Every structure is written in structure tokens, then in C-alpha cells.
Amino acid sequence: MRKQSVGLRLFRFGNIGILTVFALIAIIPLVNVLAQSFSGANAIVLNQVFLWPVDFTWTNYNYVLHNDTIWRAFGITVLLATAGTLFNLTATSTLAYPLSRPEYKGARLVLLLVLFTMIFQAPLIPNYLWLKQLGLLNTLWVLVLPGAISAFNFFVMRSFFQQIPAELIDSARMDGCNEARILWNLVLPLSKPVMATMGLFYAVTHWNSYMAAVYYINKRELYPLQVKVQEIIANANIMTSESLAVDISNLTPEGIKMAVVLVSALPIIALYPFLQKYFVKGLMIGSIKG
């Protein structure tokens, strides 16, 4: 094995040290939030909690788990992240496939229109009036239909489809397959990496949906989880505004906020270790020349 030079070893140690510092900067706030969510009211009020719970208690999580409005918002977000992602993938793939094949006429014009939406977006008020005319306000469709196809995700998926050999598609056509069957039975099974990557991108977008819900939804029963989290964080007296079957004597607004933040982020945090390879794959897919 070739011996490394002193300069290279110093660079490696320095690189590891810098990355360790950035990792701690990212992790310490999350650990502090976790510690406060399990700490007692007095410890939180006296600012005694840093990286370890003080006066360990489950009270904050009992509040969250017994709050029907949080569970309803959680269910809405899960619905958006699943059904919305399936709808996004369907819409994106059915547009990306024909535009990835050179034999389709008018593809350049459609590509320019999609690129236009990536650069220029409608202002808030005209967009609001347009959605109102369509009757989408105060419905969950308003969180799905306007962003049915992400221009960035579309171009990444199109680039991947272009890598599929034309001979495979031509042979399927010779066997009598129509374009829909080619897409469903041939192209999509070969495109599992890009479909998984784009699905993650869409799912994370739906899970973090906030601004669109604030602008276009006025019914509290339709609020997704992130809007409910903001409502709890902004309202210091939230625990006295709702009837709950839990003891609130050991509750503080800060403890509740920390517990709600963790509950809202926990699904994504739990899934990330298993899906990390697809995020890395997505970076590689995005670098493919279309």
C-alpha cells in the first residue's frame, strides 16, 4: 500500500475535523429539542435543559397524542404525501416519456413551455384568483393540482428516460404494444431509481406543505401538519384553548412546541437512513445530460 504524504494526511484530518464541526452544529439543536420535549416544566422555564432531559416526563407527548386536531392534521399530511405523490409521479412520467423520444413532433415547444414555468411563476394574487375560479380553494386539491408536475423533477425524469435504448422501445412497438403499455410495462420497471428519487422529492414537498395551505385553505379541519405545528408554536396559550384528557399541570408551551416539532419531523427522520441511497442516486441522475 502506497504511503500517504504528510500534506495529504493533514488535509484528510482537517477535512474530517471541519465536517465533524458542521455535523455537531446540525445535530446539537435537534438533541436540545429532544431533551426539552422530555423535560419537566420547571426545568424548561428555568432554562436548565441543554443536551439531556431534566425531570424526565412523558407529559408533553401525552398532550400531543391526545390532541385530536394534531392527529387530524397528521392524517391529512399522510394522505397528501401518499396520494399526492402517486398523482405527481403519474403526471410527471406521462409527460416526460413522450418528450424523451425524438420521434414526437412539437416536443421542443412543450419543453420551452415547461422551462418557462421553471423560470417565471405567477404572482400570488392572480394565482389565488385563478384557483378560486377553478373552485379549488378550501379543498385538498389545491395542495396537489397546481404543483402536479415539478419542472425540475420533469427534466430529471426525462433525462433518465432518454437513457433507455431506443431498440427496446422499437421492439415493443413491433410486438404490438401501444405507448401506454410501453410506458407501464417497459419504461417504468426500468426506471425504478428515478421514480423512487422523484417520489421522495414529491413526498418531502407534500410533507412540508405550508405556504399553499396558509394562502388557499381557511378551514382549520383541512390544515396539514406543518400549519398545525406553526399554530401551536405561535400560540403560547394553546394548552388552555382545547379540552384535553391529560394533566396539564406539568406542561409548558415550550415543551409542547418541542414535542410537536419532533412528531412532525420523526417520519422523515426515520425513513431517511433507509432511503438515503436514492437521494444520492438522484444527484447522479440530475447530472445526466438530456
The 10s digit of each residue's pLDDT in 261-271 is 888 888 877 77
The more confident residue out of 237 and 90 is 90
The predicted structure's pLDDT at residue 34: 87
CA–CA distance from 224 to each of 135, 219, 228 (Å)?
Answer: 19, 11, 7
Query: DSSP readout, 46-88?
Result: TT--SSS-SS--SHHHHHHHT-HHHHHHHHHHHHIIIIIHHHH
Give pLDDT tens digits for 162-202. Answer: 888 888 888 888 888 888 888 888 888 888 888 888 888 89
CA–CA distance from 133 to each of 84, 125, 219 (Å)?
Answer: 22, 12, 18
Residue 216 is classified by DSSP as H
Model confidence, pTM: 0.77
Of all residues in the chain, what percent carry a pLDDT higher than 70? Answer: 87
Instruction: Mean pLDDT check: name the lowest of 48-52, 110-114, 135-139.
Output: 48-52
The predicted structure's pLDDT at residue 248: 57
Q: Which residues contact 196 (CB under 8 A, 6 or more apart)?
A: 275, 278, 281
The more confident residue out of 241 and 126 is 126
Instruction: Mean pLDDT check: name the lowest of 3-7, 106-110, 278-282.
Output: 278-282
The predicted structure's pLDDT at residue 247: 54
Q: Which residues contact 36 (CB under 8 A, 6 or more apart)?
A: 44, 49, 53, 254, 255, 258
Tell me how crowded residue 187 is: count the other CB atoms within 10 A of its CB: 23
pLDDT for residue 13 is more than 80: yes
CA atoms within 13 A on the CB side of 11: 5
pLDDT for residue 71 is more than 90: no
277: left (phi over 0), alpha (psi -120 to 50) or beta: alpha
- Nearest one of 109, 290, 126, 104 to 194, comparing CA atoms: 290
Give pLDDT tens digits for 85-124. Answer: 999 999 999 999 888 888 887 788 888 888 888 888 878 8
CA atoms within 13 A on the CB side of 186: 20
The predicted structure's pLDDT at residue 89: 93
Mean pLDDT of the chain: 82
Residues 223 and 217 sit within 8 Å (Cβ to Cβ) = yes
The predicted structure's pLDDT at residue 50: 83
The predicted structure's pLDDT at residue 284: 63
Mean pLDDT of 16-20: 89
The predicted structure's pLDDT at residue 243: 43
d(Cα 53, Cα 59) in Å, to the nearest integer?
13
Which helix (H) or strand (E) is 199 found in, with range? helix 192-207
Residue carrying the nine cell digits 411563476: 121
The predicted structure's pLDDT at residue 37: 84
pLDDT for residue 283 is more than 80: no
d(Cα 8, Cα 25) in Å, to the nearest integer?
26
Give pLDDT tens digits for 245-266. Answer: 555 556 677 777 788 888 888 8
Helix/strand/coil for 235: coil
Domain-wise residue ranges, the chain: 67-290
CATH top-level class of 67-290:
mainly alpha
Of all residues in the chain, what percent carry a pLDDT higher than 90? Answer: 8
Give pLDDT tens digits for 202-229. Answer: 988 898 888 888 899 988 888 998 888 8
Query: DSSP readout, 143-159?
Result: GTSTTSS-HHHHHHHHH
